[in-house]
Amino acid sequence: MKRVSVFGATGSIGQNTLDLIARNPEAYDVVALTGARNVAQLAADARKVNAQIAVTAEEALLPDLRAALEGSGIEAAAGSAALLEAADRPADWIMSAIVGAAGLAPGFRALRHGTTLALANKESLVTAGPLLLAEAKRHGATILPVDSEHSAVFQALVGEDIAAVERIIITASGGGLRDWPESALASATPEDAGAHPNWDMGHRITIDSASMFNKAMELIETKEFFGIAPEKIETVVHPQSLIHALVGYCDGALMAHLGPPDMRHAIGYALHYPDRAHLPVARLDLAQIATLEFHAPSDSRYPALRIAREVMAAGGAHGCVFNAAKEIALDGFLAGSVGFMDMSAVVAETLDAMSSRASLSNAPQTLEDVLNIDHMARETAQRIIEQRKAKAP
């Protein structure tokens, strides 16, 4: 039996992961499930897969979680220390699917035990890529990509020499506002941006998809995970979301990965790796699909892509600042205090305001360094939002 834990079990990736696990209960021994506010869901899932322990990030919700688990024999715990303790519990495979930089510390901790970390939490690589990979290496742990584009690249690289890779192309759906005229984007609301044409994902990543901050994060994620030069990484808008990524080799061949827009493919690939196993995802009917479209993303429409290029070129701790500022700008957008097109301005201004710090040019050496920079960047972004509000007519 494979011992598995799911961090962020109550979210979109977490639920898809549990779907695969619950289909084959005799194959898995579920160790820990974690969530945040949705303790009823967390408890129901913990009962369903008979987990050892359920952990909520919210300390105040421990009594509710305890009550919901009453009589089940499943342990309940709460808070950030409990999340780390859950990451210390021996497991063969751990899904990292907490949203945001909050997912970094538990995943980082799990690596210490030489586990296989299925990494959906792209923020971990954007904020602390080199540190995370070094920690995995030090402890003989394995990190497998779960972001669909990165799983696709990973699969297109099997049996190949990375030195023969000329370019990596990750595709972008264009998100919920892709058919809006550019002039209308400034007035888009969270509701407008929160509907995705192809993928069913968490609320935050769906909005990041409309602003292309998600793709911007994924460019950085590609650089960090595959160790590929930024100029070899491209993105193209592909409205059908059927090709997830392509790897171009030095002989001109392009290996494309196709599949339905269903995260259970990437999750299942990581779950069964290095084997392939049957997965309950739709099979593509190419004749019915008939057409695959591609076009270059517009720079003015998606400033996040340009900022990501600058972040990759600057290296060091810029990715950490980028991610933190993006999370604060998105919080502001969701709260109605930052416009849709102003999110990129907040991120760019935060990077500008912090770039004079000498400490940013070096990659953070410890998790504490990362968390300090993340904290400073959040404060700076928040201050920039307040200043912009004060200046607004």
Interface residues with Mg ion (CB under 5 A) are 147-149
Q: Which residues inside 15-34 make contact with ligand NAD, applying CB under 6 A?
A: none
Question: Is 173 annotated as contributing to ligand binding?
Answer: yes
CA distances in angstroms from 223 to 13, 142, 160, 169, 319, listed in the order given: 23, 18, 18, 12, 11
The token pair at 310 is 């600058």
Total residues belonging to the chain: 393
- Which residue from 76, 105, 122, 185 is in contact with ligand NAD, where contact means CB under 6 A? 122
Place of tokens 């296989």: 116
Question: Which one of the spans 8-16, 125-133, 182-190, 287-295 is the region binding ligand NAD (CB under 6 A)?
Answer: 8-16
> CB-hemisphere CA count at 13 Å for 78?
16
CB of 132 to ligand NAD, least distance (A): 13
176 binds ligand NAD (CB under 6 A): no
CB of 8 to ligand NAD, least distance (A): 3
The token pair at 333 is 């957008």
Output 13 or 270, the one with its CB closest to ligand NAD. 13
Question: Is 71 annotated as contributing to ligand binding?
Answer: no
Question: Is 159 annotated as contributing to ligand binding?
Answer: no
123 binds ligand NAD (CB under 6 A): yes
Place of tokens 């959906």: 120
Cross-strand bridge partners of residue 4: 30, 93
- Which residue from 57, 65, 169, 328 is in contact with ligand NAD, where contact means CB under 6 A? 57
Question: Is 215 annotated as contributing to ligand binding?
Answer: yes
Question: Is 202 annotated as contributing to ligand binding?
Answer: yes
Question: Is 122 annotated as contributing to ligand binding?
Answer: yes
Whether 109 contacts 117, CB under 8 Å: no
Output 216 or 360, the one with its CB closest to ligand NAD. 216
Question: Which residues in 209-348 belong to E strands, given as ranges?
Answer: 233-237, 243-249, 254-258
User: Which of Mg ion, ligand NAD, none has residue 36 at its interface (CB below 5 to 8 Å by kind)?
Assistant: ligand NAD
Place of tokens 């059908």: 240
CB of 187 to ligand NAD, least distance (A): 25
Whether 389 contacts 332, CB under 8 Å: no
User: Which of ligand NAD, Mg ion, none has residue 99 at its interface (CB below 5 to 8 Å by kind)?
Assistant: ligand NAD
The token pair at 152 is 């696709």
CA distances in angstroms from 61 to 40, 74, 79, listed in the order given: 10, 16, 9
CB of 391 to ligand NAD, least distance (A): 31
Q: Which residue, among 345, 357, 355, has the nearest Cα to 387 in the 3D structure?
A: 345
221 binds ligand NAD (CB under 6 A): no
- Which residue from 45, 64, 135, 147 is in contact with ligand NAD, where contact means CB under 6 A? 147
Number of H helices and number of E strands within the chain? Answer: 16, 11
Question: Is 151 annotated as contributing to ligand binding?
Answer: no
- Which residue from 5, 52, 115, 121 is in contact with ligand NAD, where contact means CB under 6 A? 121
Can you tell me the distance from the alpha carbon of 367 to that of 233, in angstroms, rounded to the nearest whole number? 27
CB of 206 to ligand NAD, least distance (A): 8
- Residues in the site for ligand NAD, rule: CB under 6 A? 8-14, 35-36, 38, 57, 97-99, 102-103, 120-123, 147, 199, 201-202, 204-205, 263
